[in-house]
Structure 1
Amino acid sequence: MERARAGKDVVGAVAGEPGRLPLAVAVIDGEGRVSHWSSGARKLFGVSREDAVGAPADELMPVTGAFAATSFAVAGRARVAEPGSGSGDVLWWAYPLVGNGPERLLVLAADTARLQTRGGVEPPAADAEHERVAPGFALHTDFPGSAELAGRLPEILPSMSPQESARIVSQVLELGYPVLDISQHERVPVTPDWGVPRRVERRVRLQRAAERTDTESEAARAAAQELASDLEYAAVRERLEFLNEVSGAIGSSLDLARTIQEVSEAVVPRFTDVAGTYLREQVVAGEGFPDGPPDATTMWHRVALEHNDEPGRWEDVVPVGESMPFPAHTPFFQCMTSGEPVLVPRISEQMGNAIAAQFEKRDISPLINNRSMLVVPLKARNVVLGFMILLRHRERAEFNDMDRVTGAELAARAGLVLDNARMYTHQENVAETLQDSMLPRVAPRMAGCDTATRYLPGTRLGRVGGDWFDTIKLPGSRTALVVGDVMGHGLNSAAMMGQLRTAVQTMAALELPPAQLLRNLDDLAQRLGDGYLATCLYAVYDPIANELRMANAGHIPPVLVRAECGRGELLELPTGAPIGVGSVPFETVTVPVAPGDRLVLCTDGLVEVRGVDIGDGLAALCESAAHPAASMDDACDTIIRELARLTSTARGGRKDDVALLMARLNGIGQEDVAAWTLDAQPGEVRTARAEVRARLTAWALPHEAVETAELLVSELVTNAVRHAGGDRVGLRLVRTAALQCEVTDEDHTLPVLRDTAGEDSPGRGLRVVARLAHEWGASRTAGGKTVWFEQALPEG
């Protein structure tokens, strides 16, 4: 490099070395957008990496001539109006890139303020400076020591993987090495300077002092020591910058999988060439904080693998998702039990073969032998959650003690972020489990009606809320339809919702009228505490009478879509006060319906959005509920989709939970109902058996079903005649997907199933019913009681 040495005093960087300049590096893709932006580019052009990557390059670098590069390299000078630092006079080199990658243009730039003329004199005025220094190109073979130059060229591309930089470097060498033309006849090759500001001159001075003759050996030794300290300072600063960048790159979300991927991508290839991350299975499964220290039986789950080798080389051998234990006397076991990083400067063949023996049917020894390895623990609160296995290429410098310290600090920061993500994932799982356990599994088909439901958690308030819906099977082929909303959000609201929902189910089974049920629920809420406030709408559908009986406690009104005209209308109900207010009356309203009508119940989160009048939301609900749909599920999806459009135009969007319950009221035709009134006389039992047999035969039920029904009806009518003490006994059969039978009498005392011994002892009839019926029960009515059973029927 004689010509380079000749120019040593002509031009240099701050360090005083020829052609050694702080460089800004940018890579531009085929769409003209920045895909790589170095820290030097940030300093020169004053734009952060986050703002630059993905932005149009011509808006960030006012060096228009650079973008004209087609099949050959171009260079020039430009004035930057508002540079990040320096004089505003910029030298630039541009290389067109070819190949399969997205990179299409490489731009290098340097601030002329970093140049100094012969003897340390400042550069002359702008016009004279243009005559003395200009950017250019030369084959690297034009200079002595070309191999050294070619080897240092990748330094121009910091933070790039070997695959990316190798392709770009090969094209730079082919198109011409960047040089500085001095006075149009001296050419100095440009090499990047990533030195430490304000200390480089001192380092060069110390280097020269260290090279003095033996007569100055003591001064040389002192200079060497000071140089070592200076270099250590530079290395430490570089590591700190790396750790700061990694800290900024990880933890962008609380998603555990995304966090793990961010940690892996942050260290490859800048710190290591291969990074495998393992976590304890309890952490991956979201089961909470691991109990106790790990041991040789602890299962570790491989959750991420990042590398810069050729694609598939590692994935086929050590796939993500595999679980395995690590035996004692291995570096991994030592790391996870001690909680300290383990450094293996070079994996020997013996160690590599021992590690490879853990992987059945796969030989990983060619991938790890003779590589440098660092195993770092991922800890939180002194508990090891996992560890990372870091490997470097054989040609790369081995991990050293400073790398071990850096790796430990990296792992500490990553462990904290992972623990935050783990806790968030665990809490989210707990919330989902709680919410799912409290929401009912609504049967899509009830007697005389089909139902469909949807539940959407609040977008910003987590998955736990106080909204609920329910369908409750009642005697007489009726169905109770419930929707409610506890005020507030979070675990307290969910727990309160669970209590109120259980209370509604219990009181519904007592056949309470809707208004009386809400009155009792309001009393219960006041006894539970002052903070128990909720809205609730309770409706009972009778498919035989074709009517709805409803009561409202401060809830938004339901929508009824009439089958006759296809229009949706809000039902006008007395609003009432929310549950928990106290001393407020509720009123039951009866609404006639027709087969095919649809009832839509929902919570206010669906129609009430900040910045939008609730009337607009209710109007949109009526309109969307009336849309034709192929199925009930499609109808629910249509409502959710149409109301989401209203939400998207509002400020802040939807934040509340949504519960939606839709019921298609099919009704039960009179041809599927048979009823008789019998005298309370023993002889009427025979009449009941005959009537039941005749009707079930007319309905074409199988012989076995007829025999069973006849027996069960006989037992219930006998009990009513013997124990009711009234004058009349009612009998009704209802045919739906199952056969339902009801026997009513004038006695309010409910029957009790007894554990009796003899076949002729009291209680035998109910035991027969309990044994043969699919379901049975009893409830009080205004005039006495009803005992019923349901008998499963063959399909068809």
Structure 2
Amino acid sequence: MERARAGQHAQDRTDPTADEPGRLPLAVAVIDGEGRVSHWSTGARRLFGVTREDAVGAPADELMPVSGAFGALSYAVAGRAHVSEPGSGSGDVLWWAYPLVGKGPERILVLAADTARLRTRAGGARPDGTDADEGTDPGVGPVRGAGGGDAAGHERVAPGFALHTDFPDSAALAARLPEILPSMSTRDSARIAAQVLELGYPVLDISRHERVPLTPDWGVPRRVERRARQRRAVAPAATEAAGSELAGTGTARTESASARAAEEKPVSDLEHAAVRERLEFLNEVSGAIGTSLDLARTIEEVSRAVVPRFTDVAGTYLREQVVAGEGFPDGPPDTTTLWHRVALEHMDEPGRWDDVVPVGESMPFPAHTPFFRCMTTGEPVLVPRISEEAGHAIAAQFEKRDISPLITHRSMLVVPLKARNVVLGFMILLRHRERAEFNDMDRVTGAELAARAGLVLDNARMYTHQEHVAETLQDSMLPRVAPRTPGCDTATRYLPGTWLGRVGGDWFDTVKLPGSRTALVVGDVMGHGLNSAAMMGQLRTAVQTMAVLELPPAQLLRNLDDLAQRLGDGYLATCLYAVYDPVANELRIANAGHVPPVLVRAECGTGELLDLPTGVPIGVGSVPFETVTVPVAPGDRLVLCTDGLVEMRGADIAEGLAALCESAAHPAASMDDACDTIIRELARRTSTPLDGRKDDVALLMARLNGIGEQDVATWSFDARPREVRGARARTRAQLTRWALPEEAVDTTELLVSELVTNAVRHARGDRVQVRLVRSASLQCEVSDEDHAPPVLRESGGEDDAEGGGPGRGLRVVARLAREWGTSRTPDGKTVWFEQALPTG
């Protein structure tokens, strides 16, 4: 390293820029949190004689005498040190250090300079009157000394153009940043000014690629004026040629012809250049917009494509239906049509437009304005220069705001955004008064620009509309699962596939059954898209209908398979159907080619895949299904899902199922948290991001709480009229032991009496059974040995007038119970009703 330093000293001595007038050799280095150098400038190389390759990564205290700089993590510090072999030949070095403000790890910026150079350049004093050797940062202002004391008596200086340079009027220059950097938006200039003037660290590099604004003087509108100027320019030559002809020189005709050629050729070349420039502009705009089908991003691209090259202010307005993602707008717009201001790009100072015309505002446009004329005719409207009278006239049409200062004395062009001859919106383009007015060629260019932008916006609108239609269809087909049923708590998640559209055939459902039971269903229609979603809706409706018929799980899948074959050959789906009985604490499950469920045992907290007969998918036909009974315990959790959750790229599905068992066993504060944990963990295990899935994901989790024996009461009676009184008495006694309110006791006793009376009168069997179940609500079941279901008849007739008649009991039940129904059993039928219980 010493050899490298010696060689570098020799190079710096011969470097012509090392002592260039007006330059201050300032060393800049950055120290990371571990005390090592992460940045090493050319000035640091010259001052300390170490190359950048040797310095980066090396300990800072070995290269520079800046041990006191590490206090700059909390405040700025400064110090003086002696260097044995500084690059400048002097042994005294003055350094400043302060923390870098911003995101990321802690870093320290160190500035160092030869004290001899400071005195030579500054003449012993700083431009602000302070001594160069005192504790002042050359770019930031007064800092603390290495011992922690403040350098009193010094005012902070603006760091925009650091005072160690010899540039005059640096403060005024910093205030004119937008003028120094042409074609820069106010957003970028404000950010740069804040970084330099407020945060206190410099902008090292600014890279922008801009095209020269279109010249509005090109083209046909100025052709006559240019020809007149050219004729005036060649008039003296023509006069001299005429004098020569009179003198007999014979050269007048030739020079006149040359003058005419000189007159015509520049005009033609200029017009060709104008057309070529505008075509290039339109080509660039076409490439800049429409990079995605996101409506908001497309609108932003259209606005930024024209500022500042074509205009200085661009405001975009769209019809309400377009912004809402609805269908194609119907009918021409009028004074009641709402227009949403969706984007505003301008070159004015920040905040000038935001308060008067904020983005996101909705408003109708009055008649007799250029905006209304553009949106009703579908043609561009050109106002070469808005006079004060016209500006006030336009501003008078708008309530509670004065837009005249924003538009007066500016040139305005309003262009429609059309698609299929329907106006979707329009753009208001304004040029500053210092810029040339819009002309006829600008009108043509703006119309072509709007036509291309309108096509892109319409594509984005249609895509957004289709997404909304798909999401609405999917949401309408997915059930609204109740989070709690008797003895069972449920939580669900549905994540549509994003690679192949947001509509799929995965579904889940819960069906409340008599006897406090709950049916749990999950299925997956093969394929994607609207056809799969439509088929899913049909199968889901069929399952709900057959579930309330109290069919065994295997028989239900058998009927569902027959239905799929009748609907068509392409109807294939997998399905898992389970019935949970919280009183008996058991699950009855049948599987039709679906992913097996996971049962998390509350006793040991482990998850296991249930061993079920796989079966074949729905729609194959002529294959039997089998029902399996699985005993469970209160607190166990059942997890049912579709294969989109457990499929892993390049791996067997068994690995995904093993990961499902492990993630399902994780403890969670709630059911919703448990579902989120499973999805997040499976996404990590399968290396598939949540927003990049190929297939849909349906997840249904049920916590099997069970219903204890103390909450169930069952009695059996002879089918005789005298037993009705006993049923009423036992019902009242049991409800009283459960401490139910008197009103609930009276209502339940009356309904039990009515149902037992009906069973005694109309049943053909010898026994009637009554069962009361208390959970979140009160369920009552009356079973008999007659398979004929009861019929709810209309009231009327002599029997009803006397207080009797067929159907009276069911009418009372339908009037007083919250829910009621009937179902078949292997031995007969059951009529049930449910009563709400007070909370707590």
> CA separation of 1:367/1:31 partners in 2, compared to 1, >3 Å: closer, same or farther?
farther
Q: Is the 8 A contact 2:683 2:689 kept in 1?
A: no
2:420 is the alignment partner of 1:397? no
Equivalent residue for 1:244?
283
Equivalent residue for 2:583?
544
Q: Offset at 1:695?
A: 0.3
Q: Offset at 1:686?
A: 0.4
Instruction: Please give the alpha-carbon distance, in whole angstroms, between the structure 2 residues aligned to 1:775 and 1:360.
Output: 56
> CA separation of 1:646/1:620 partners in 2, compared to 1, >3 Å: closer, same or farther?
same
Equivalent residue for 2:273?
234
Map Cα deviations across residues 235-285 of structure 1 (whole Å, 9 max, x no partner). 222212221221111112111111111111111112111111111111111
Instruction: Please give the alpha-carbon distance, in whole angstroms, between the structure 2 residues aligned to 1:578 and 1:750.
Output: 33
Q: Offset at 1:567?
A: 0.3
Structure 1 segment 661-680 matched on structure 2, within 5 A: 661-680=700-719
Instruction: Please give the alpha-carbon distance, in whole angstroms, between the structure 1 residues aligned to 2:763 and 2:599.
Output: 41
Instruction: Please give the alpha-carbon distance, in whole angstroms, between the structure 1 residues aligned to 2:294 and 2:820.
Output: 49
2:550 is the alignment partner of 1:507? no
2:366 is the alignment partner of 1:327? yes
Unpaired runs of at least 5, structure 2: 1-27, 31-38, 48-100, 103-165, 169-176, 197-210, 216-228, 239-254
Equivalent residue for 2:824?
780
Structure 1 segment 633-782 matched on structure 2, within 5 A: 633-648=672-687, 654-757=693-796, 758=800, 759-782=803-826
Map Cα deviations across residues 184-235 of structure 1 (whole Å, 9 max, x no partner). xxxxxxxx99999xxxxxxxxxx99995433156643442332122112222
Which amino acid is 2:669 matched to?
Answer: A
Q: Offset at 1:350?
A: 2.1
SS at match of 1:459: coil
2:836 is the alignment partner of 1:792? yes
Which amino acid is 2:237 matched to?
Answer: D
Q: Is the 8 A contact 1:610 1:652 kept in 2?
A: no
Instruction: Please give the alpha-carbon distance, in whole angstroms, between the structure 2 residues aligned to 1:653 and 1:367.
Output: 46
Instruction: Please give the alpha-carbon distance, in whole angstroms, between the structure 2 residues aligned to 1:647 and 1:340.
Output: 55
Q: Offset at 1:292?
A: 1.7
Instruction: Please give the alpha-carbon distance, in whole angstroms, between the structure 1 residues aligned to 2:46 and 2:415.
Output: 45
Instruction: Please give the alpha-carbon distance, in whole angstroms, between the structure 2 residues aligned to 1:520 and 1:303.
Output: 53
Off by >3 Å, runs of 4+ in structure 1 = 64-70, 153-169, 192-196, 207-214, 216-222, 649-653
Between 336-345 and 783-792, report the one with greater CA deviation: 336-345
SS at match of 1:303: strand
Which amino acid is 1:685 matched to?
Answer: V
Find the structure with the greater CA-based Rg.
2
Instruction: Please give the alpha-carbon distance, in whole angstroms, between the structure 1 residues aligned to 2:271 and 2:29.
Output: 42
Equivalent residue for 2:35?
none
Instruction: Please give the alpha-carbon distance, in whole angstroms, between the structure 2 residues aligned to 1:194 and 1:678.
Output: 97
2:408 is the alignment partner of 1:369? yes
> CA separation of 1:420/1:327 partners in 2, compared to 1, >3 Å: closer, same or farther?
same
Give percent identity, aligned residues only: 82
- Across the aligned residues of Structure 1 and Structure 2, the Cα RMSD in angstroms comes to 3.3
Q: Offset at 1:438?
A: 0.4
> CA separation of 1:539/1:31 partners in 2, compared to 1, >3 Å: closer, same or farther?
farther
Q: Is the 8 A contact 2:295 2:461 kept in 1?
A: yes
SS at match of 2:354: coil
Equivalent residue for 1:560?
599
Q: Is the 8 A contact 2:186 2:349 kept in 1?
A: no
Instruction: Please give the alpha-carbon distance, in whole angstroms, between the structure 2 residues aligned to 1:318 and 1:536.
Output: 55
Which amino acid is 1:783 matched to?
Answer: D
Map Cα deviations across residues 391-442 of structure 1 (whole Å, 9 max, x no partner). 1111111111111111111111110110000000000000000000000011
Equivalent residue for 1:114?
none
Q: Offset at 1:322?
A: 1.6
Q: Offset at 1:609?
A: 2.9
Instruction: Please give the alpha-carbon distance, in whole angstroms, between the structure 2 residues aligned to 1:445 and 1:248.
Output: 54
Equivalent residue for 1:86?
none
Q: Is the 8 A contact 1:554 1:578 kept in 2?
A: yes
Which amino acid is 1:516 matched to?
Answer: Q
Which amino acid is 2:826 matched to?
Answer: A
Equivalent residue for 1:497?
536
Instruction: Please give the alpha-carbon distance, in whole angstroms, between the structure 2 residues aligned to 1:518 and 1:689.
Output: 40
Instruction: Please give the alpha-carbon distance, in whole angstroms, between the structure 1 residues aligned to 2:256 and 2:179.
Output: 34
Q: Offset at 1:579?
A: 0.1
Q: Is the 8 A contact 1:210 1:219 kept in 2?
A: no
Which amino acid is 2:576 matched to?
Answer: L
TM-score of the aligned structures, taking structure 1 as reference length? 0.75
SS at match of 1:648: coil
Q: Offset at 1:637?
A: 0.3
Which amino acid is 2:298 matched to?
Answer: T
> CA separation of 1:762/1:282 partners in 2, compared to 1, >3 Å: closer, same or farther?
same
Equivalent residue for 1:381?
420
2:312 is the alignment partner of 1:273? yes
Equivalent residue for 1:581?
620
Instruction: Please give the alpha-carbon distance, in whole angstroms, between the structure 2 residues aligned to 1:65 and 1:31.
Output: 10
Unpaired runs of at least 5, structure 1: 1-29, 33-57, 59-63, 71-99, 102-138, 142-152, 172-191, 197-206
Instruction: Please give the alpha-carbon distance, in whole angstroms, between the structure 2 residues aligned to 1:331 and 1:585.
Output: 74
Q: Is the 8 A contact 1:750 1:778 kept in 2?
A: yes
Which amino acid is 1:250 matched to?
Answer: I
Choose the corresponding residue for 2:567, options 528, 551, 570.
528
Which amino acid is 1:726 matched to?
Answer: G
Q: Offset at 1:788?
A: 0.1
> CA separation of 1:140/1:271 partners in 2, compared to 1, >3 Å: closer, same or farther?
farther
Structure 1 segment 168-207 matched on structure 2, within 5 A: none
Which amino acid is 1:786 matched to?
Answer: T
SS at match of 1:476: coil
Q: Offset at 1:161?
A: 3.7
Which amino acid is 2:427 matched to?
Answer: M
Instruction: Please give the alpha-carbon distance, in whole angstroms, between the structure 2 residues aligned to 1:334 and 1:656.
Output: 49
2:446 is the alignment partner of 1:407? yes
> CA separation of 1:353/1:601 partners in 2, compared to 1, >3 Å: closer, same or farther?
same
Instruction: Please give the alpha-carbon distance, in whole angstroms, between the structure 1 residues aligned to 2:460 and 2:668.
Output: 41
Equivalent residue for 1:5?
none
Q: Is the 8 A contact 2:683 2:690 kept in 1?
A: no
